[in-house]
Amino acid sequence: MKIRTRSRTIRLMASILIAGSGSAIAVAGLSQNAFAQSITCASASACQINGGSTGVINTYYSGSTVTTTSTTSTITMHLDPSALNASTPVSPGDTILILQNQGGTYSTAANSSSYGTLSNLTAGTYEFATVATVSVAGSVTTVTTTAPLTDTFSASAQQSSSSAATASSISDFQVVRVPTYIGDAELTSNLTALPWNGSDGGIFALSVTGQLNLNGHTINVSGDGFRGGIGYALSGGVEPVPASGSSDTGYAYPGSDNANGQKGEGVVGTPNQNAIPSTSYVDGYATGDFGRGAPGNAGGGGTDPDGHSNDENTGGGGGGNGGSGGQGGFSWDTGLNEGGLGGSSLTPSSHDLFLGGGGGAGTVNNSEPKFAGSGGNGGGIIVLTVGGLTGTGSLSANGSNGVASPNNDGGGGGGAGGTIYVQTDGTCSPLSSGAVTVSAIGGNGGTTWATESLLPAAASSSARGRPNLNGNAHGPGGGGGGGVLLTNVLTGLQSTLAGGSAGTTTNGNLNGQTLPSGTSYQNQNYGATAGSTGLLSSIGPNGDESGSCAPPPTTQPSTPVTQPSTPVTQPSTPVTQPSTPVTQPSTPVTQPSTPVTTAPAVHLASSQSSSVTVPLTHTGEPWAGTTWWYLVAGLAFTGSVLVFPKRKQSAHTSEQR
C-alpha cells in the first residue's frame, strides 16, 4: 500500500497558468492567445497531430533542483540528448509537467520478509506549470515558472550498500514539455513516448482544449516504464556453501556474490544495470540488487537455494502498480519456494502518476541467449486533458512479458501495467460503446524449457548432490500486476487492467510416467503466480478526487412556485411582524411632500400631532445629549413626534416648524 506522510495542494492539468499573469483558468475556456507556444486551430478544421517517424511529440529533461519563492519557482534541468525529442526545446509560454519519478523510504532488512515494505513514498507527485523564462548554459537549462510550484521535487544520488533497517531511496524527477492545442485536434499517426531510461522518459502528455479525435490511431507506451532486472548468467562460487539440508533464503544479496536473480526497477530504486556482477560490482539498492525481496513496486529476483553454484534456477517476481505482481516459480531439483516476490501494489489518487514496476530476473547459470531470464519492463504513463474525446482508437500502457529461458534456467517476471489518465472538460462526456479501448495489462511471466517434457530428468542430481525430484521443471516468472486508469469518462471506454499470467515450465507432458515419491510438482506453473488486477478510479471533470463526473443533485419542489410579476424589494433590516394583525385605517394617510424622520417603532393616530421650536445655534446634533433622549422618550410615550429643523448656514436664527 502507498503511504504518504504529508499533505499538499493539488494543481491539476485542468487549470493552467497564463504566462505572466499568475492566474488560472480552465483549459476549455482558454483564449487563443493564452499560450505563447500553444497551437491555435482554425475554427473550421481540426489541428493535425503527427508524431513523424518516431511517434514522439514530447521533450524530456532530467531534473536537478527546484527553488521556490512566494512568486515563482526556478528549475534547473538537463535536456535528454536523444534524437527522438531534442528538436523542440522548452520555450516561454510552454506548458510543462513535473513528475517525481522515484523517492521514498523502505525496509532494507536483507534477511526479513519485511524487506521492501514502504514506510513513506514521495514518488508519483506531479504538477503542471507554465514557463515564464528560459536560459541555457551548456548542458543546463534553467526555467522559471509564472507561479510558484505547490509541491516538492528533489533529486539525490544513487543508493549505496547499507546494513540499516530502512533506507531512503534514490530520488529523481523529470520535466516534460506538453504540446497544447487551442481548439479541436485529430491524430494523423500513431504516437508514443521516449522509453524510460533511468532519469526521464516513459510519459506521453497532451492537452487539447476542444475535441480530440483519435481518428483510428493508437497512443502506446507499453514497455516504456521501469525496467526489468537483467538475466545475468552467473556461476556462483562466492557465497559460502550452505550447510547440509539448508538453503540460501535471504531477500537481498550484493552483486559481488555472483549469484541469484537481479531485482527489477521501481519507485524506490534502480539496480546497477551498467556493470556485470563481480567483486567490484556497485549495487543500486541498499543491501544488494539481487535476491527475492521486492523493493516497493519492483519485482524481486529469484533467490537460488544454492548460491554457491547458482544452478537451482528459481523464477523472478512480477512488477506492481495498481495490482501487485505475482511470485516466481520454485527451484529446479528441490522444488523450494524461493522465487522472486511480486512488487507491491500502489494506491494512487488523481494527482499521482506511477510508471509500471519492472519484473525481477530469474536465476541463470547456463549458456542461454543474451538476456534470457530477464524481467519485463513496466508500462509507461499517458496523460490526456481534453475538452472531449471522439473517434475510435486505443490507449495502451501494458507491461512487457518476462523473458523466457529456452534452455534450463529460471524465467523472468512480467512488468506491471502503467498509468492512464483521461480527463475531459465536461460531465462524463460519454463515448460510443467500444469506440476507444484502454489497456494497462501486466506482462506475462517468462516460460522455462517449454520444449521439454517433465521426465526424464535433465540430470539425476544438482551440483550439490541433491536428488532431482522434479525432472526438467525450472522456476517460471510471476505475472506483472495490472495498471491504473484514472478518468471521468465512465461510458464508452473499454478498459482492461488485468494482471499478467504466470509463466509455465516444460510442456507438462508426463509421457505416461509416474512422478517420483515426494515430488512437489503440481502443475505447469510450478509455483509461479499471476499478477493481480489493476485499479480503475473515477475522477471529477476537473480532475478532483470526488469520484463523480455528474453534477450535484438538485431537489425540485413537488408544486411549482409562482413568482410575482413585479420584484419585491426586501428591507435591508428584517422587520418583526406583530403577533396580532394591525388594522389599517380605512382612509389613506397623506404623506408630506418633504420626508419626515420619525423615531422607530412609534405609531401615531391620524389626529395626533405636535411641534417644537429648536434653536439652530446648537453646535451639535440635538440627539447628542441625554436631555434630548429623555424628551424623545416622553414625546413618544404621549404619542407626539419630535421634528428636527434643517440646519442653515447662519448660527443666529431660529425657525419654527
* Mean pLDDT split into 10-residue runs, the chain, 657 residues: 38 33 28 53 88 94 96 96 79 97 89 87 95 95 97 81 64 96 95 96 95 95 98 84 66 93 96 90 92 97 91 96 97 89 88 95 92 97 92 96 93 98 73 82 95 71 68 92 90 89 81 53 80 90 54 39 42 47 48 42 35 37 46 47 43 38
CA quadruple 142, 146, 147, 149: dihedral sign: negative
Label the pairing between strands 217-220 and 393-396.
parallel
Peptide bond preceding 456 in cis form (omega within 30 of 0) = yes
State the Cα torsion 489-494-498-503 to the nearest 10°: -150
Kindly report the number of other CB atoms within 10 A of residue 64's CB atom.
17
pLDDT of the residue at 639: 52
Predicted pLDDT of residue 12: 35
Q: Would you report the helix, strand and coil content of the chain in percent, each value rounded to 5? A: 5, 25, 75
For the full predicted model, state whether its pTM sits above 0.95: no
pLDDT of 492 reads 73
The amino acid sitting at 528 is A
Strands 140-145, 126-137: parallel, antiparallel or unpaired by DSSP? antiparallel
Grid coordinates of 262 = 537481479
Q: Is the CA virtual torsion 238, 239, 245, 250 positive or negative?
A: negative
What would you report as the CA-atom Rg of the chain, rounded to the nearest whole angstrom? 37
Q: How are beta strands 493-496 and 436-439 bridged, if at all?
A: parallel
Sign of CA dihedral 522, 342, 309, 372: positive
The pLDDT of residue 108 is 87
Report whether 390 contacts 213 (CB < 8 A): yes
Contacts of 303 (CB under 8 A, 6+ apart): 248, 249, 250, 251, 253, 260, 261, 291, 292, 314, 338, 339, 340, 363
User: Degrees (nearest 5) of the Cα angle 82, 88, 90?
Assistant: 105
The answer to whether the CB of 332 falls within 8 A of the CB of 106 is no
Answer for the pair 628, 614: CB distance below 8 angstroms, yes or no: no
Q: What are phi and psi of 622, to 5 degrees?
A: -60, -35
Name every residue whose Cβ is closer than 8 Å to that of residue 301 and which is 6 or more positions away in sequence. Answer: 229, 260, 261, 262, 263, 264, 289, 290, 291, 292, 316, 317, 340, 360, 361, 362, 363, 375
Distance CA 384, CA 381 (A): 10
Grid cell, residue 490, equals 465512465
